[in-house]
Structure 1
């Protein structure tokens, strides 16, 4: 007598899987409403705080006296190009010095039992609570005409030493609020380093500097690149510190402010804002690309 398998069961007796039980399209369709609900707040923020402001900036820039030709003026005018170059070079210098200082300090603090380390780290990160105006005021108190350095110079050489009202003062101010942003990232990256790799390198005869160069730096590179990119982007767009120190500094945020406030050239101010955002976004995207490759290489 022939035995026919029951419907819905395989010949071996095990239940036949439902044709839609593990189907990827069906599973994705079932999850899509919940995924959309989770993504909706991020989508609203993206539209409200990025797309709409950028669209408004573009509209303002091309509705000015020069129309779309304002962008050609931005990229061809020596005045605006000089302002852009000064801003980029200053931000790059701040980023490099910050990475060196924060890299050394963060590694030392993470690897050594320093008395009162928690208090010291809290003090090092305290500038994160200060707005740019306060940092600019602190730079003036240090290197301004009546600052600490001026009084020391008056006592020692009979002249007041000042640096607060130029690019040197702006460099110190940017460095002051950039180091805390990087030092925490460096400490977290050092904590995750595999100490056995360093011990293996030492056992093979590598000296301290070679261990740093060949073992520690490659492993920390993704964190250094990402934190350096954030430092660069913050320095590119910082306004409060520059405005507090001097309104005649030739950096792009102040140039945008002058075009908008002093000359009522709204189209040029909007075009310069888009230029500033584009340069900063390109650097962040490039850093993300290099950081991703570094992560893949060290995985």
Structure 2
């Protein structure tokens, strides 16, 4: 009699559990529908179209735009210049703003909130404004040109070169690193630092063996974001000069000046793939660093 009663009760329990599981899956699917729709409409379909368009014949060479990109010197130089510039900006931003973010996270002083607000203020600027600020600093009528003319009788100008573009990219990359490093330092276990100092470790030894490994995932992730942002930044480069040999300006020129849609699509695909690969690599390295630190 008891066995007869237990069996229907157990079957009913599992039926209710199965129905609850199906409802949860259905709810999750419904919640994902808007995101999947936007993903397909604004990324998957356009990017698929770009892939196909890049395989079409280039207007100048008559062969596939991908093949032209890989065999013509001007496109290879543009690709190498863009990657090198973005790497340099990422390394410099992490090195400079990493120390600043750590200092701001570990020290309290009067006016700190104002200083953090000033350092992160460039996040509110579009690329065109950043380019204009670089011109005001290193342009022909900028502060450096006026000062050098007064002191040495000649104008020093850097705004319309790759160095000027480097300064502009670095300017809007530093706030991203500072905010990320400050958040990572706030979550860092300070007892590890105290234990290292109690064992006789010097300040630089603690920095090298405890602090940097602890915030390494944050440094890698924010460095990848700086790289991706620099790879695709257009407004600053367009303000400083349309003849700079970088991919965003090449894409703009091929699309608007020459109506070479196949080459513009191929350059866009290559830029997107390089950026995606850098972000994926940084995510993997950050997860490995996080696992090693734990």
Is the 1:236–1:280 Cα contact (8 Å) retained in structure 2?
yes
What are structure 1's unaligned runs of at least 5 residues?
A: none
Say whether 1:284 aligns with 2:279: yes
**CA distance in 2 between partners of 1:28 and 1:67 (Å):** 57
Does the C-alpha gap of structure 1 residues 64 and 118 become closer, same or farther in structure 2, counting only changes over 3 Å? same
Question: For 1:180, which of 175, 180, 204 is the aligned residue?
Answer: 175
Following superposition, the deviation at residue 19 of structure 1 comes to 6.2
- Alpha-carbon separation, structure 1, partners of 2:4 and 2:255: 77
Structure-1 separation of matches of 2:66 and 2:209? 45
| Deviation sequence 1:122-151 (CA, Å, 0-9, x none) | 111111111100100000000000000001
Among 224, 246, 249, the residue aligned to 2:219:
224
Could you tell me which of 220, 239, 247 is aligned with 1:244?
239
Contact 2:54 2:64 in 1 (8 A): no
Query: Secondary structure of the equivalent of 2:225?
Result: helix
TM-score by length of 1: 0.92
Which residue of 216, 234, 250 maps to 1:255? Answer: 250
The question of whether the paired residues in 1 share the 8 Å contact of 2:56 and 2:262 is answered with: yes
The alpha-carbon deviation at position 259 of structure 1 amounts to 1.1
Give the TM-score normalised by the residue count of structure 2: 0.94
Q: Compare CA radii of gyration and give the structure with the larger one.
A: 1
Residue segments in structure 2 that go unaligned for 5+ positions in a row: none
Aligned residue in 1 for 2:55:
62
Q: In the TM superposition, what is the alpha-carbon distance from 1:23 to its structure 2 partner?
A: 8.8
Q: In the alignment, which residue of structure 2 is the partner of 1:8? A: 5
Question: Alignment length, in residue pairs?
Answer: 292
- RMSD after superposition: 1.9
Which of 32, 51, 54 matches 2:25? Answer: 32
In structure 1, the residue matched to 2:14 is: 21
* Aligned pairs for 1:43-58 within 5 A: 43-58=36-51
User: Cα distance, 1:260 vs. partner?
Assistant: 1.2
Instruction: List 4+ stretches of structure 1 deviating above 3 A.
Output: 15-20, 22-28, 63-68
1:298 CA drift (Å): 2.4
